[in-house]
Chain A
Amino acid sequence: MKLNLHIWRQKSPNDAGKIVKYEANDISPDMSFLEMLDVLNEQLIEKGEAPIEYDHDCREGICGMCSMVINGVAHGPEKETTTCQLHMRKFKDGDTIYIEPFRAKAFPVVKDLVVDRSAFDRIIQAGGFISANTGNAPDANAIPVSKVIADQAFDAATCIGCGACVAACKNASAMLFVSAKINQFRDLPQGQPERYSRAKSMVEQMDAEGFGACGNQNECEAVCPKGIKVSNISNMIQDYTKSVLATDN
């Protein structure tokens, strides 16, 4: 396959950045999208040009490190698929492909396609956990959890923290991410003691990081590689509202 690539190049956070055109030849349809970029990078290095920096690590769709907007869609055209799991057979010979970083005020570009998503870490640090010191735990089966609740918690817990939801949202809202993290614990018996304080501090941190508000257009759900549902957001708003109105936490 032969492809016309238009790739965002930006030397540093303060550089203006621009789209640069490249041609990729001899691309096999069995390559992953990142392997296609590997091939291009190797050619760039051999020519003495600077290779394109992009984040990636596990290449199995689970670490959440890869982050690109491909033809205007975070993680590209395939549903529920991270960039690293996208394969070139989804494209046609001669296609033009635009590749850009995840864009959001709270995700500043570091270089080329690499962005800084440390805002997500700070949201988790604000309370996205159950406070259980090592050694405190009772026997694991002492806390039965109904399968329905456990499965719901799991559905939320599958979030890989990639930030595609933010990149897809025109308000750069992080509500899908934050609500998934809240719902992971919200209905579990272990999550009850901190349920409302957790929602409150995480939402406040989310706002402080400069993420926008939800515009109810569900682009986040559409691009989420793990199929996280927007219904999480209504649960989050419910708990956050209660936490603000309640006087006892």
Chain B
Amino acid sequence: MDLTSHEPTGEISERWDKHRFDMKLVNPANKRKYRVIMVGSGLAGGAGAATMAELGYDVECFCIQDTPRRAHSIAAQGGINAAKNYQNDGDSVYRLFYDTVKGGDFRARESNVYRLAQVSVNIIDQCVAQGVPFARDYGGYLTNRSFGGAQVSRTFYARGQTGQQLLLGAYGALSRQIKAGKVNMHTREEMLELVLVNGQARGIITRNLVTGKLSAWAADAVVLGTGGYGNVFYLSTNAMGSNVTAPFRAYRKGAGFANPCYTQIHPTCIPVSGDHQSKLTLMSESLRNDGRVWVPKTSGDTRRPRDIPETDRDYYLERRYPAFGNLVPRDVASRAAKHECDEGRGVGPGGRGVFLDFADSINRLGKDQVEQRYGNLFQMYERITDDDPYETPMRIYPAVHYTMGGLWVDYNLQSTIPGLHVVGEANFSDHGANRLGASALMQGLADGYFIIPYTIGNYFAHNATPALSTDAPEFKQAMQECENRQKKFLEINGKRTVDSFHRELGKTMWENCGMARNATGLKKGIEHIQGLRAEFWENVKVPGSGAELNSELEMAGRVADFLEFGEVMCRDALNREESCGGHFREEHQTTEGEALRDDENFCYGSVWEYKGYGETPALHKEELHFDYVKLATRSYK
């Protein structure tokens, strides 16, 4: 497996400029002769499809929702980082780069991260030009806040719905290109297979989710912007439809899957309320700016939170991490919450929760100020829990939120399959082992607006893509495989629902490959998943037919892929005998319970190669080099 990163050499601040000059261009008149398939229409996919169309490429864009505006990017609440230094507090491109490499626990590629920090400033400009209503001060200028793990205020935000506002910007740009005829938009159309011709990614097979019709699509290149795989855990903050199928199908066709075990567990989510729970709801991390996290000092303290005096409370983040306090990065905050609950000091049903308390802020700023900052989040919390956070502290607990792993890509965002590019959360590139708050929107838009539109041209200029029709045998065969698989789901007619398999898989993943992992648990997890997978193919019950809207059939396909993919995650976690970022191996921690990284043996990206159904995948390594940010132990004390 060729893992050449193709990153430019030289001074890091000049690499992207140098690369842009070195890349070959496609003549403007020739661009319309190239067709690009974009799977996904969120921040990365939508922005990429729109921008490539603006440049002149013909784009076929696919999404599983009824409209591209519903992609799950929409749910991001907190904000988007950019090194604008508008607050004059010492921010710079270099500092954002430095923070991101360090925050990712030194498991990302320096050149990529630097480029991300560089283009972050262009993103804000672009979004404002599109009319995205970022928060402003009374002078009319953009305002910022500090956000999870950063000591400068570089986060731009739009109340608690930055994701929706940025997505509406990208959706507007996309809609404009649809109207102009440069993007053919296919809604409720799910990618089921990637088609390779002569080793190049040349098309996909999709299923229309309304009619059930399978279709083949040929193009000169394929881009995946299909988001993350957090739903392998069943319960996560992802949307119900979020899945791993598109990247997983590509993996089965030879694309390397990198760092699948890097999962971000977000510290501030509403705790699980019962077995019926279908998903978890995030409370924006921005709440940690004004909320203080605590638990009662003694376990089993059943007094109402307001009746517990200061002396009986443990503000454990402020105690353990005085420099960063409640603003420590997500992985650190999540593990600390788990630790308190494991020790029996958790609050609420089942003892799986900690308090996030706004009393001090309400006293200091007044209720109005707090309402202005967090009103919609408080409202959402009250709706779900029936508790009023103005009166009583919120209860929060960590939940699966984001996946740093994804298909391996080089500096051009190309996977190990020529012509297959991957953008946004679906790739593995920029966040290393832990993503900092407000960096997901930044990366999605960076890839979509400012990177893939350039690098796709370079691919075309260097690679011939001969004319191709969907009558080619490769398409016929892929169609047949999709049909057979679908038929199989419908014919099993067993006793268990798709959901019951998914729930069991999620429970195993959470227990064995969740916030803290160990070799025994991971091995147990792998064994369990193998058994569950075998049972799935014998005993799943999928009602209805393939020729209609059938959400059970859709889910069956996604869960079948999760059942294979979960094992790859466990294998990756088992291989990585160190603790870094979102990956915490219990065998590798300091006496104080902090993560213990092993740079000597694990300073690499793990890239897994598919070897066949039920076979152990092969591990390849991309060695990482840190020439600018010196390898150091993260300390937020």
Bound-state CA distance A191–B140 (Å) is 16
A137-157 at interface with B (beta carbon < 8 Å): 137-141, 143-147, 150, 153-154, 157
Within the complex, what minimum Cβ distance (angstroms) separates B373 from chain A?
A: 14
State which of B66, B239, B450, B495 has its C-beta within 8 Å of the C-beta of A58: B239
B127-159 at interface with A (beta carbon < 8 Å): 127-131, 133-142, 158-159
- List chain A residues, Cβ under 8 A from B453: 134
State which of A57, A78, A134, A146 has its C-beta within 8 Å of the C-beta of B65: A57
B497 interface contact, C-beta 8 A: yes
- List chain B residues, Cβ under 8 A from A62: 74-75, 161, 163-164
A53 interface contact, C-beta 8 A: yes
Within the complex, what minimum Cβ distance (angstroms) separates B622 from chain A?
A: 30
- B105-128 CB contact bits vs A (8 Å, 1 = yes)? 000000000000000001011111
B389 interface contact, C-beta 8 A: no
Bound-state CA distance A185–B176 (Å) is 15
A171 interface contact, C-beta 8 A: no
A38 interface contact, C-beta 8 A: yes
- List chain A residues, Cβ under 8 A from B159: 154, 158
Taking CB as reference atom, which chain A residue is nearest B237? A60
State which of B130, B133, B240, B241 has its C-beta within 8 Å of the C-beta of A150: B133
- List chain B residues, Cβ under 8 A from A134: 47, 50-51, 54, 126, 173, 449-450, 453
Taking CB as reference atom, which chain B residue is nearest A188? B131
Assess the B136–A51 pair: CB atoms within 8 A: no
Bound-state CA distance A147–B142 (Å) is 10
- List chain A residues, Cβ under 8 A from B141: 141, 144
A179 interface contact, C-beta 8 A: no
Assess the A45–B552 pair: CB atoms within 8 A: yes
| Stretch binding the partner chain, chosen from A93-101, A111-119, A234-242 | A111-119
Assess the B130–A145 pair: CB atoms within 8 A: no
Within the complex, what minimum Cβ distance (angstroms) separates B165 from chain A?
A: 6
A204 interface contact, C-beta 8 A: no
Taking CB as reference atom, which chain A residue is nearest B349? A30
Assess the A57–B240 pair: CB atoms within 8 A: yes
B179 interface contact, C-beta 8 A: yes
Assess the A154–B158 pair: CB atoms within 8 A: yes
Assess the A150–B278 pair: CB atoms within 8 A: no
- List chain A residues, Cβ under 8 A from B179: 125-127
A35 interface contact, C-beta 8 A: yes
A24-64 at interface with B (beta carbon < 8 Å): 28, 30-32, 34-35, 38-39, 42, 45-46, 48-51, 53, 55-64
A190 interface contact, C-beta 8 A: yes
State which of A12, A39, A48, A89 has its C-beta within 8 Å of the C-beta of B543: A48
A133 interface contact, C-beta 8 A: yes
B384 interface contact, C-beta 8 A: yes
- B168-192 CB contact bits vs A (8 Å, 1 = yes)? 1001110110110000010100000
A184 interface contact, C-beta 8 A: yes
State which of A64, A137, A150, A184 has its C-beta within 8 Å of the C-beta of B126: A137
Assess the A145–B75 pair: CB atoms within 8 A: no
Assess the A110–B129 pair: CB atoms within 8 A: no
A132 interface contact, C-beta 8 A: yes
State which of A32, A46, A118, A188 has its C-beta within 8 Å of the C-beta of B67: A118
Taking CB as reference atom, which chain B residue is nearest A129? B172
A85 interface contact, C-beta 8 A: yes
A136 interface contact, C-beta 8 A: yes
Assess the A136–B129 pair: CB atoms within 8 A: yes
- List chain B residues, Cβ under 8 A from A146: 136, 140
Taking CB as reference atom, which chain B residue is nearest A49? B543
Bound-state CA distance A215–B461 (Å) is 57
Bound-state CA distance A175–B130 (Å) is 23
- List chain A residues, Cβ under 8 A from B278: 32, 34-35, 38, 59
B304 interface contact, C-beta 8 A: no
State which of B124, B163, B176 has its C-beta within 8 Å of the C-beta of A125: B176
Assess the B551–A53 pair: CB atoms within 8 A: yes
- B433-465 CB contact bits vs A (8 Å, 1 = yes)? 000000000000000011001000000000000
- List chain A residues, Cβ under 8 A from B552: 45, 51
A158 and B161 in contact, given A131-B176, A137-B128 (Cβ under 8 angstroms)? yes
A3 interface contact, C-beta 8 A: no
Bound-state CA distance A57–B155 (Å) is 27
Bound-state CA distance A45–B550 (Å) is 12
Interface residue tally on A, bucketed by range: 35 or more
A63 and B175 in contact, given A118-B67, A150-B133, A160-B164 (Cβ under 8 angstroms)? no
A65 interface contact, C-beta 8 A: yes
- List chain A residues, Cβ under 8 A from B136: 144-147, 150
Assess the B70–A137 pair: CB atoms within 8 A: no
| Stretch binding the partner chain, chosen from B269-277, B479-487, B567-575 | B269-277
Within the complex, what minimum Cβ distance (angstroms) separates A195 from chain B?
A: 11
Bound-state CA distance A133–B130 (Å) is 9
Assess the A185–B131 pair: CB atoms within 8 A: yes
Within the complex, what minimum Cβ distance (angstroms) separates B371 from chain A?
A: 14
Assess the B499–A129 pair: CB atoms within 8 A: no
Bound-state CA distance A31–B383 (Å) is 11
A214 interface contact, C-beta 8 A: no
State which of B124, B137, B499 has its C-beta within 8 Å of the C-beta of A147: B137
A87 interface contact, C-beta 8 A: yes
Assess the B178–A125 pair: CB atoms within 8 A: yes
A191-246 at interface with B (beta carbon < 8 Å): 191
- List chain B residues, Cβ under 8 A from A129: 130-131, 172-173, 175-176
A64 and B125 in contact, given A28-B274, A57-B239 (Cβ under 8 angstroms)? no
B182-217 at interface with A (beta carbon < 8 Å): 185, 187, 210
Bound-state CA distance A72–B137 (Å) is 42
Within the complex, what minimum Cβ distance (angstroms) separates B464 from chain A?
A: 27
Within the complex, what minimum Cβ distance (angstroms) separates A44 from chain B?
A: 8
- List chain B residues, Cβ under 8 A from A34: 278
Assess the A145–B140 pair: CB atoms within 8 A: yes
Bound-state CA distance A78–B66 (Å) is 25
- List chain B residues, Cβ under 8 A from A124: 69, 171-172, 175
A167-191 at interface with B (beta carbon < 8 Å): 184-185, 188, 190-191
A128 interface contact, C-beta 8 A: yes
Assess the A39–B241 pair: CB atoms within 8 A: no
Assess the B65–A111 pair: CB atoms within 8 A: no
Assess the A154–B171 pair: CB atoms within 8 A: no
B549 interface contact, C-beta 8 A: yes
- List chain A residues, Cβ under 8 A from B322: none
Taking CB as reference atom, which chain B residue is nearest A80? B379
Assess the A139–B125 pair: CB atoms within 8 A: yes
Taking CB as reference atom, which chain B residue is nearest A159? B168
Within the complex, what minimum Cβ distance (angstroms) separates B252 from chain A?
A: 26
Taking CB as reference atom, which chain B residue is nearest A116? B66
Bound-state CA distance A147–B139 (Å) is 7
Bound-state CA distance A62–B175 (Å) is 20
Bound-state CA distance A62–B179 (Å) is 25
- List chain B residues, Cβ under 8 A from A60: 75, 237, 281-282, 380
A-B contact pairs, 17 of them (CB 8 A): A38-B276, A56-B240, A59-B240, A59-B278, A63-B65, A85-B384, A111-B548, A125-B176, A125-B179, A129-B131, A134-B173, A134-B453, A138-B129, A154-B133, A158-B159, A158-B164, A188-B131
The 6 closest A-B pairs by CB, nearest first: A129-B172, A144-B140, A137-B129, A137-B125, A154-B133, A140-B128
Which residues on A are within 8 Å of B, measured CB to CB? 11-12, 28, 30-32, 34-35, 38-39, 42, 45-46, 48-51, 53, 55-65, 78, 81, 85, 87, 89, 110-111, 114, 116-118, 120-121, 124-141, 143-147, 150, 153-154, 157-158, 160-161, 184-185, 188, 190-191
Given contact pairs A32-B384, A35-B277, A118-B187, enumerate 20 new A-B contacts (beta carbons under 8 Å).
A30-B274, A30-B276, A42-B500, A59-B239, A59-B281, A60-B237, A60-B380, A63-B70, A65-B70, A121-B68, A134-B50, A141-B86, A144-B139, A144-B141, A147-B137, A154-B165, A157-B158, A157-B165, A158-B161, A190-B129
